[in-house]
Amino acid sequence: MKTTITEVIAARQEAGAAYAAAAQAYLDAWVTLKAHDMACANGNVAAIDAGRGFAGLPEVVPHSEFLTASLHGGLVDRAVEQHDRIIRSLKG
């Protein structure tokens, strides 16, 4: 079955949008897991050793059209803020 140029262009747009959404979801998940790693390593919880977790920042390959803006800005700050909310919400 042949594909039209319009269909190829539309499929590219869909793939680009999916890539950008997946990149954002990946980074959001990194922030959430980092925050929980920090909370579990916190002296109030002490569920894991402080050295466990990520060894660095996540990497996302930019795309000239669909992912041009840096999504990395503020990841650690977001994780710290989320960690602080987790610790404040602890009962007991």
The reported pTM is: 0.85
What pLDDT digit, counting tens, does each position of 24-44 carry? Answer: 999 999 999 999 999 999 887
What pLDDT digit, counting tens, does each position of 43-88 carry? Answer: 878 888 878 899 999 989 989 999 887 776 789 999 999 999 999 9
Three-state SS for 28-87 is: HHHHHHHHHHHHHHCCCCCCCCCCCCCCCCCCCCCECCCECCCCCCCHHHHHHHHHHHHH
Answer whether residue 20 shows pLDDT above 70: yes
